[in-house]
């Protein structure tokens, strides 16, 4: 049974409960962010927990094994931005999801017994975003025992383009739709580009019925782009959007196009399965 301070339990025992949810995120760059579902910001133990717009945590699944997990969704804002998610800065960030008594906030997170109820401590496992919202899925520490950790040797770069390992800054460009059959998935632009130049990148619509919405490019060829999921409204000629050129993750691409070979995250000389299966020769 959890040993909790009376300053916290009083918020559960009264006629009117005074409990709020808070989550504390320590990003890869060391910055610490705080969020809450309370109606206004809460400040305690040296950190301000921002009252996040549209904050929507799921039910917490937690048991004695420590494999608890929770997903939290909200709108993009000053605390969480699209370029930060594109750059992978929240990947594997440390998170603590807790309940506090807003009528008697904690003064020390290390004090015993605890002045708050810690529901889940773990890492950011999956980051999803689209339209104007994002979702971060946090997994308990024990969940790492069920997943493969570390890097495998592979020919392609293992890093996400623009993340803290790749170190290449994303360059956003604006384009305008010049061709569309009214479908919500595929469209064309005026200039042509190499195949797969935008595959895997993100599109944010700037004008038209879909303004403000975001989506992922699943395929790009010549002047044609195709999205992974349909937009809310039909894509029309004249609609403008913002995106960025993505990397094909090959050693040649990294060296010749991006001049970033020193940060290439693959092993280009691995022979592959076909090489290992060849018969020896004298």
Per-residue pLDDT reduced to its tens digit, 164-205:
899 998 888 899 999 988 778 899 999 888 888 888 898 999
CATH (one of 3.40.50, 1.10.3470, 2.60.120, 2.40.10) for 172-246: 2.40.10
**Which pLDDT belongs to residue 143?**
62
Rounded to an integer, what distance in angstroms lies between the CA atom of residue 134 and that of residue 129?
4
What are the Cα distances from residue 244, in Å, to 94, 148, 163, 177, 255? 28, 30, 14, 15, 19
Question: CB–CB of 265/154 below 8 Å?
Answer: no
Least confident piece of the model among 20-34, 69-83, 174-188, 190-204:
69-83
Q: Would you give the DSSP letter of residue 28?
A: T
Whether the per-residue pLDDT at 64 is higher than 70: the answer is no
Paired with 174 in beta bridges are 242
Per-residue pLDDT reduced to its tens digit, 110-123:
888 888 988 878 78
Least confident piece of the model among 36-50, 82-96, 188-202, 259-273:
82-96
Rounded to an integer, what distance in angstroms lies between the CA atom of residue 11 and that of residue 113?
16
Enumerate the domain spans of the chain. Answer: 6-144, 172-246
**Predicted TM-score (pTM) above 0.75:** no
Percent of the chain at pLDDT > 70 equals 75
**Which pLDDT belongs to residue 196?**
84
């Amino acid at each position: 049974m959890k040993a909790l301070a009376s300053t916290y339990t009083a918020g559960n025992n009264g006629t009117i409960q005074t409990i709020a949810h808070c989550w504390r995120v320590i990003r890869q760059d060391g910055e610490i962010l705080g969020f809450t579902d309370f109606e206004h910001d809460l400040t305690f133990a040296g950190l301000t927990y921002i009252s996040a717009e549209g904050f929507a945590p799921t039910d917490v699944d937690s048991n004695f094994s420590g494999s608890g997990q929770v997903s939290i969704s909200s709108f993009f804002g000053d605390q969480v931005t699209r370029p930060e998610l594109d750059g992978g800065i929240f990947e594997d960030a440390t998170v603590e999801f807790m309940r506090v008594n807003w009528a008697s906030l904690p003064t020390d997170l290390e004090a015993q017994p605890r002045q708050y109820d810690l529901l889940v401590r773990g890492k950011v496992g999956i980051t999803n975003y689209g339209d104007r919202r994002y979702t971060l899925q946090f997994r308990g520490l024990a969940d790492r025992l069920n997943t493969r950790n570390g890097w495998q040797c592979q020919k392609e770069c293992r890093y996400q383009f623009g993340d803290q390992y790749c170190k290449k800054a994303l360059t956003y460009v604006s384009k305008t739709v010049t061709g569309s059959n009214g479908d919500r998935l595929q469209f064309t632009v005026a200039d042509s580009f190499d195949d797969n130049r935008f595959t895997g990148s993100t599109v944010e619509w700037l004008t038209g019925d879909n303004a403000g919405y975001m989506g992922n490019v699943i395929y790009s060829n010549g002047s044609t782009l195709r999205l992974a999921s349909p937009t809310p409204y039909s894509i029309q000629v004249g609609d403008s959007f913002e995106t960025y050129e993505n990397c094909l993750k090959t050693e040649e691409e990294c060296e010749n196009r991006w001049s970033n070979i020193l940060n290439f995250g693959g092993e280009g000389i691995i022979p592959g399965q076909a090489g290992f299966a060849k018969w020896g020769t004298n």
